[in-house]
Structure 1
Amino acid sequence: MLKIQKIPQQRSFNAWFIAGTVFSLLFLAYTALDATKVLDRQTLEIARALLLRPITRVDCMFYEWRHLGEVPVSLIITGILGGLCILAGFRRRVVLFLILLLLIGVGVEAAGKRVLSLPFPRTLRSGMTVLECPQLTDAPFSAHLTAATAQWSKIPDPPRVQVSWAHDVSQMPIVLDDSETERSFPGGHATRWAFLGIVECWLCWRLIRSRVLRAILIPVFFLGSFLGGFMQYWIGVH
């Protein structure tokens, strides 16, 4: 059985509770600001600017890795983390607590996307499709697995025609007359990546005795909690 790092329960709880409260308040503040629509134009400008970035095989890797933020996969990972908690001596109800937190996030995502929307020009959307690794759209599972395992040399290059079109679209003005409704906020994939990363940080903090190992793993998992959101942004799906 894993040995739990001896940390005062109340102090540990207070620190994580304060951190969770701060992040929740920041999320609520941004949501309130987004609901006013004052950020719509800036959001579209950022989306258009993405078309100027290098379009490479990395996009395919990110597109495959984002699936780790899907609800079924996140539930499995949460169950595994809960199992580690039980092996480490935590009460069994911690598994239900973690799953409940995950499902609350799913509920918030679903409710938010029903209320919040963004007018997204169809021309801009057509240019951004090249960011989502279109070269693997009809590819066999083995090709997707190649991208997911970061086998760089085996990933096909982005279609030149679509890359050229994306660059053309990046120079066009943003016209809202021909727009579709985009419902991408709040981002569920990014939220679940962040949730799992924070749980992993917490487990490292509680279970690992070595200060050196903790100093390495906690920053890695903490940065990983933001990776999901960055990937969603980079491939233009949020």
Structure 2
Amino acid sequence: MSPYIAEFVGTAMLVLLGDGAVANVLLARTKGKGADLIVIVMGWAMAVFVAVYITASFSGAHLNPVVTVALALAGKFPWSKVPGYVAAQMLGGMAGALLVWLAYRQHFAKEADPDVKLGVFCTAPAIRSVPHNFLTEMICTFVLILGVLYLASPQVGLGALDALPVGLLVLGIGISLGGPTGYAMSPARDLSPRLVHALLPIPGKRDSDWHYAWIPVLGPLAGGSMAAWIYMHAH
């Protein structure tokens, strides 16, 4: 499997299982309706574990444009491969979101709340405040990327990650820092599904909250760049 296909497949798997957990908890008449945040957090942690496990030996299992950029900034990944990786990740995120919609299509039709429908695809802040929301996403992604840089395993491939530790890292971030914004930490996890929400013929949907959409992109990039800078100066 080429690294670009692996990044596409892995990111699709990540979003399918992660947003699938959100759909199971939030949407009307599902078997998981009414479960709490810990189910969603566990769902995302397991999504990361499975996606990393599948793709690590082929692509290094970046599965996130911020991871790719941070590894390049830290000198652990060639800049020439960054555009291809990012494109594969963004398209994979869209594919994963499409699969979630197909799996839960009947439940989207039964769900009356347009905010819930949007929330399956992408994040929104619990309390809307641009500086605080940006800072939270920056802090969450700083923790993620610093952890990723130290978990990088050259035995598996350049930038490859051990599956279980990175899954536990995402679990810890979700439990500790997921409350304010939903800890997007990745444009492929937030912007790509948001685009799919905008494009799909979902009955009774609202707008895709484009006023907020830049925060889960630039906040993570800022946090990831800061983590890469600290990592480089610590070595």
Under a length normalisation based on structure 2, what TM-score does the superposition of the two structures give? 0.31
Greater C-alpha Rg: 1
Under a length normalisation based on structure 1, what TM-score does the superposition of the two structures give? 0.30
